[in-house]
Structure 1
Amino acid sequence: MYNANTYLSATELLARFKATTLDPVDYLETVLATAHSQQSSVNCAAGIFADEARARARESSRRYRAGQARALEGVPVIIKEETAVEGWPRPMASLVFKDRIAAENHPIVDKLLEAGAIPYFQATNPEFCVLGHTWSKMYGVTGNPWSLAHSCGGSSGGSGAALAAGVAPLATGSDMAGSIRIPSSLCGVYGFKPPFGRLACTPTDEYFVQAVEGPMARTFDDLVLMQNVLAGPHPKSYTTLPYTPLPTTYGDLSGMRIAYSPAFGHPALAADVHRNLMQALDGLRSRGAVVEQVTLDWDLERINQVLLDGLRAIFVDEFMLDIPPTETDKLCSYVKFLHDKALDKKVSIMPSAILTQQLHREMQAKVWGQGYSAFVCATMLSTDLAADQDPVLEPMLKLDGHDVDAYLGWVLTPAFNLLNRYPVLAAPTGLSDIGVPTGMQIVANAYDDETVFRVASNHALAGTSRLFIDQFPPAA
């Protein structure tokens, strides 16, 4: 079984390190043991970099003794494989690029290192991060620590699974169609999709506004801690906004009006997902919020298709066409499918811009313009999803008697990648009937990050979902 000490929060670790009741060097060895042991079951490691981590842990220990500790001094951190760390492999889970090594750090990795964090665990993602589950020919299947046969989500599934497996308290993720929010919800952790411009992006990704990096953590307090380290300008980025750190404590929700739509009118929402969402909303009411249902009957199939076409137009197709024709047999089925689409038909970004404006105007008319400060919905329709589910071999799923597209039809996240200036925070809402966590999305108007954190803080305080306090995942 996993060592419960590996489930200490970053906030608690920092307090213990400062009090000298725990040493970063010793704690690193604890999580290293967990990191290696989980690989035979969960399989969420793309790489484990113990030697350089040990050197950083020794430096952190020295800094605590000298009174020079930084904001995340000595805290182990999980890094999604897609997120570049200088000198680490970065194949994007593809056998085509199996020998690629990152030449420089992603800006958020620079910020983690400057804050004294210890990146040591590289988490799996699907090939080129274009799947809502986490499996590839390179890394195999990553299971969900709560139920190994079920999906941990994607594309930041390795990060979510590693958090749930006790590998570290903090992780990086990225999100272009739900890739932070989906695994956060399925793995029972918190994740934040910031509005574009809040975090520095990879240089040359400045026009790829649907996709952002963001923090993932097991506790709300840790999510705030990590976001305050990651956010704000970086010398490599010219699009990042000035940043005022988020508060670390929040008042209750007295006077706040919150709107919700469980699944935008989709009939396939599972009863257990709905039940847990309603309990979470009752928790917000207990904290003083006025919570009311609004009608948003969105055409999710159209939203998904328009987002995918936009992603193809601005990034995916060009990337796919860079793959040598002699190498396409190495691609996973879901990437080969996108590769063939890139050859078959050109698409445009303009439908994304038009639909985004329509969605924002409806949100303005029914939510923001009606005095609601936040909006809440489920993250996905169901948790009953196989870890190795292949949307090419099985293009349709049967959910609650309804056929849905197996690629994106089961998630409720893509609209907010079109509405990419909206902050969205994924929070756990409990366990489904099959023992897999469920989650909700907390949304606010453009760049109003503090509101989603205030709502999430009160959700955490309401205690309607205390997964890592009440129990740990059963996987060993």
Structure 2
Amino acid sequence: MISLRLENCMQDTTYLSATDLLTRFRDGSLDPVDYFEVLAVAAERQQATINCAAGLFLEQGRNMAHESRRRYAEGTARPLEGVPVIIKEETSVKGWPCPQASLVFKDNVAVENHPIVDKLLNAGAIPFFQATNPEFCVLGHTWSKMYGVTRNPWAQAYSVGGSSGGSGAALAAGVAPLATGSDMAGSIRLPASLCGVYGYKPPSGRLPCAPGSEYMTQAVVGPMTRSFDDLVLMQNALGGPHPTSFTTLPYTELPTEYGDLSGMRIAYSPAFGHPALARDIERNLLQALDGLRQRGAIVEEVALRWDLDEINMVLLDGLRAMYADEFMTDISDADAEKLCSYTAHMRQQASEDQPSIMPSAVLGQKLHRDMQEKVWSKGYTAFICASMLTTDLAADQDPVAQPFLELGGHKVDANLGWCLTPAFNLLNRYPVLAAPTGLSELGVPTGMQIVANAYDDETVFRVASNHARAGTSRLFVDQFPVLG
């Protein structure tokens, strides 16, 4: 039984941003312990419908919230003091299970924190919610034999994307204002777009990676949040070196305030010339571009014609060579029975061929030269495109059982053929920020990718700041999911 006081508090505070939370914690108008109890209720309630929790660590969170209360009283609060945070299951928290959503590894427990977890803890944040991901994080949706199907809070029949789908869903369900994600082929940007939140794929080396992942330059960790200001806040908390990471670049904090876009030239290509882009996604994208024009930008379409099938195949081969095949071939035939269809299919591929990372490097260079010729050398500072071709994706879509999708009369590969994200994992030094653009006709959020040239992080944040100020998307402003 929930008290009326707590119910009223839930209505008032569930969707507060971390930025607003910190202000209220500091001025004493909201207590970290009371707020944590609000989110504990939200975390438990969503599981019956959304199913985005791999684990709940409420007592640990309560203890940390009491510590935050003490620090505010003593004047020793840290930058994220008392802010609850969602942690993707793949991202290790010492003492938490880390099976990678696989029954094969169901007994695995993390023996140390991922570097970004250490950074969150050092900043005073409260990890308490472990979010679902697909098995081994190799699917663009979020379902597994271990956790079942994670559903979209905006429209529960539809996909939250993957592999950071649990993080996106938990943000949309009001579980916490901040979440971690990781991105090998769009795994931050796809869920961010489908759940109506912000997500950042930083350039390789910008944030510390897990020990052993240093050479997987296509894959990065990054922040996911409901508001733009929170994305800046979280990215700044995660930046900088960590003792276990030798590849992290020096970090200069991002500004928290940005001017308008007067004089900035922005190029766009809705879907790299792909004919299957849904009209509602394109409509929302064009409205967002009009908002940027109102903020002073010069926005012009450019003719990029990229072979998405080739990009997807080359990226997947590279990821298999660097990541998946290493342990897929070590799984016994007995354990293979426990695998999901999509990982069993990958295991079968691993036994039949030998993928290489070299085509990824070659194609990445080709794509960069095309961007250089048509975008960067022409005076454009940023580039924008949609995040995906469609939102009509079932929550439990299985690309093994249904290898192709029909999109507007065009047949595309069901695995990654609907995604517009993988090119920027080949161009892995490019910063890419996913921002919400509105709702599709199905009631599922849509999103866009804001891209800049290598290591020009500040530009994508400047554009995203102006997008947020333009207000063409009303998601989590005056439009919210109805969870039921």
- SS of corresponding position for 1:103: coil
**One-letter amino acid matched to 1:245:** E
| Matching residue of 2:46 | 38
- SS of corresponding position for 2:157: strand
- Match 1:346 to one of 350, 354, 375: 354
- SS of corresponding position for 1:438: strand
Question: Which moved further from structure 2: 1-10 or 443-452?
Answer: 1-10
Question: Could you tell me how far apart the structure 1 residues matched to 2:151 and 2:91 are?
Answer: 21
Q: Pairwise CA RMSD of aligned residues?
A: 0.8
1:376-433 deviation per Cα after TM superposition (whole angstroms, max 9, x unaligned):
0000000010000000000000111110000000010000000000000000000000
Question: Could you tell me how far apart the structure 2 residues matched to 1:4 and 1:278 are?
Answer: 33
1:203-235 deviation per Cα after TM superposition (whole angstroms, max 9, x unaligned):
010001000000000000000000000011111
Displacement of 1:475 after TM fit? 1.8
Question: Could you tell me how far apart the structure 2 residues matched to 1:234 and 1:249 are?
Answer: 27
* Residues 1:395 and 2:427 are matched in the alignment: no
Displacement of 1:5 after TM fit? 1.7
Count the aligned residue pairs.
476
Gaps of 5+ in 2: 1-6
1:310-344 deviation per Cα after TM superposition (whole angstroms, max 9, x unaligned):
00111111121121222000000000000000000
Matches within 5 A, 1:21-32: 21-32=29-40
Question: Which moved further from structure 2: 38-47 or 465-474?
Answer: 465-474
Question: Could you tell me how far apart the structure 2 residues matched to 1:107 and 1:336 are?
Answer: 30
**One-letter amino acid matched to 1:101:** V
| Matching residue of 1:129 | 137
Question: Could you tell me how far apart the structure 2 residues matched to 1:247 and 1:319 are?
Answer: 41
* Residues 1:223 and 2:223 are matched in the alignment: no
| Matching residue of 1:57 | 65
**One-letter amino acid matched to 1:424:** V
- SS of corresponding position for 1:273: helix
| Matching residue of 2:184 | 176
**One-letter amino acid matched to 2:67:** E
Matches within 5 A, 1:153-164: 153-164=161-172
Gaps of 5+ in 1: none
- SS of corresponding position for 1:456: helix
* Residues 1:234 and 2:238 are matched in the alignment: no
**One-letter amino acid matched to 2:126:** I
Normalising by structure 1, we get a TM-score of 0.99
| Matching residue of 2:3 | none
The answer (yes or no) to whether the contact 1:46–1:123 under 8 Å persists in 2 is: yes
**One-letter amino acid matched to 2:50:** V
| Matching residue of 2:328 | 320
**One-letter amino acid matched to 1:142:** T
The answer (yes or no) to whether the contact 1:460–1:466 under 8 Å persists in 2 is: no
**One-letter amino acid matched to 1:236:** T
The 4+ residue runs of structure 1 with deviation greater than 2 A are 1-4
Question: Could you tell me how far apart the structure 1 residues matched to 2:142 and 2:352 are?
Answer: 26
Question: Could you tell me how far apart the structure 1 residues matched to 2:11 and 2:117 are?
Answer: 27
- SS of corresponding position for 1:192: strand
* Residues 1:432 and 2:476 are matched in the alignment: no
**One-letter amino acid matched to 1:103:** V
- SS of corresponding position for 1:35: helix
- SS of corresponding position for 1:381: coil
1:8-65 deviation per Cα after TM superposition (whole angstroms, max 9, x unaligned):
0000000000001111001000000000000000000000001111110001000000
The answer (yes or no) to whether the contact 1:443–1:452 under 8 Å persists in 2 is: yes
| Matching residue of 1:115 | 123
Displacement of 1:187 after TM fit? 0.2
- Match 2:195 to one of 178, 187, 191: 187
Question: Could you tell me how far apart the structure 1 residues matched to 2:364 and 2:327 are?
Answer: 24
Q: What percent of counterpart residues are identical?
A: 73
**One-letter amino acid matched to 1:388:** D
**One-letter amino acid matched to 1:189:** V
The answer (yes or no) to whether the contact 1:17–1:23 under 8 Å persists in 2 is: yes
**One-letter amino acid matched to 1:317:** D
The answer (yes or no) to whether the contact 1:3–1:34 under 8 Å persists in 2 is: no
Question: Could you tell me how far apart the structure 1 residues matched to 2:188 and 2:50 are?
Answer: 18
| Matching residue of 1:247 | 255
| Matching residue of 1:146 | 154
Normalising by structure 2, we get a TM-score of 0.98
- SS of corresponding position for 2:245: coil
